[in-house]
Structure 1
């Protein structure tokens, strides 16, 4: 079955279509979630939540607004960031042992692996360093635009403008 037909079947509540979509996308989506959270158990829980949201909200997907994978990716990214910002996550972070700090420090610089997990590494490598940093902070680390401005010591308006320009450049490259 073609992807458009599969999506239509999903939107009509077809459980077999949902299972097929899970087979097609769960591994990639898990990789994205894990690259943000760096915790297998929580990533698996968030993955299940993401697919539950896909099932419950499939009617909100509109192909005119973007690709299906992008829609799923945004659900996964937002769920991961919501978890990071949650009180439970923050309390759990307070209780980390010193062994975990090595992983945290390493994951802060693992932008290349995260970009590769969603298949855009070759495109991001062509971008200017400021674009790489903006994409890393805003999309992979879940920073708000205000937090990004503070982290990069840059005016908020500049962050917004550069982010828009960087995303547009990525869109151009992906459309080629």
Structure 2
């Protein structure tokens, strides 16, 4: 994986992507592939297929960057939707139904930041301020990739309790991100 040394604002990045600049695509991949892969793999639950879908997503981004409109939303939201839709399509192709709760919540939290590496450390610091029973659930769901069902089984907590505590924790976290 190439590590881009160039830094971009979102506007500069979009302009460079539209000009097909290699450094811009390297920057995009370096800074967003991890977040996209997490969303895709949570949906697919198969790392090999998730890697394939991630590759397809970056091809779609490259081919369709001219259709991105900053007035309709941030770049991260646009590429996250491409990844999310790719993952959903892959799950449906297997004849399964996608689970959306984790994806929608992860997208909502991640949209507050531009740099995915910063997100991880800053969010973990904020999550550390939560009550222990909420902190462990957020950590397992969003940093370790467990589903609500897996958390319920691992911690021997009813599924409804897991979901309500995660929902409460997410509401509490939103207060920290309010501008």
For residues 81 and 107 of structure 2, the distance between their equivalents in structure 1, rounded to whole angstroms, comes to 14
Displacement of 1:85 = 1.4
Structure whose residues are more often helix by fraction: 1
Q: Which residue of 1 aligns with 2:82?
A: 75
Q: Which residue of 2 aligns with 1:128?
A: none
List, as ranges, runs of 4+ consecutive aligned residues in structure 1 with deviation greater than 4 Å. Answer: 110-114, 172-175
Judged with a 3 Å threshold, the aligned counterparts in structure 2 of structure 1 residues 117 and 34 are, in CA distance, closer, same or farther, namely farther
Judged with a 3 Å threshold, the aligned counterparts in structure 2 of structure 1 residues 112 and 16 are, in CA distance, closer, same or farther, namely closer
Contact 2:80 2:107 in 1 (8 A): no
Give the root-mean-square deviation of aligned CA atoms. Answer: 3.5
TM-score (structure 2 length as normaliser): 0.53
For residues 103 and 58 of structure 2, the distance between their equivalents in structure 1, rounded to whole angstroms, comes to 23
Q: Which one of the candidate residues 112, 115, 121 is aligned to 2:105?
A: 115
Contact 1:31 1:117 in 2 (8 A): no
Q: Say whether residues 1:46 and 2:56 are aligned partners.
A: no
Count of equivalent residues: 112
Q: Which residue of 1 aligns with 2:155?
A: none
Displacement of 1:116 = 4.7
Q: Which residue of 2 aligns with 1:152?
A: none
Q: Which one of the candidate residues 1, 8, 15 is aligned to 1:2?
A: 8
For residues 73 and 21 of structure 1, the distance between their equivalents in structure 2, rounded to whole angstroms, comes to 12
Contact 2:57 2:83 in 1 (8 A): yes
Structure 2: gaps (5+ residues): 1-6, 111-122, 127-170
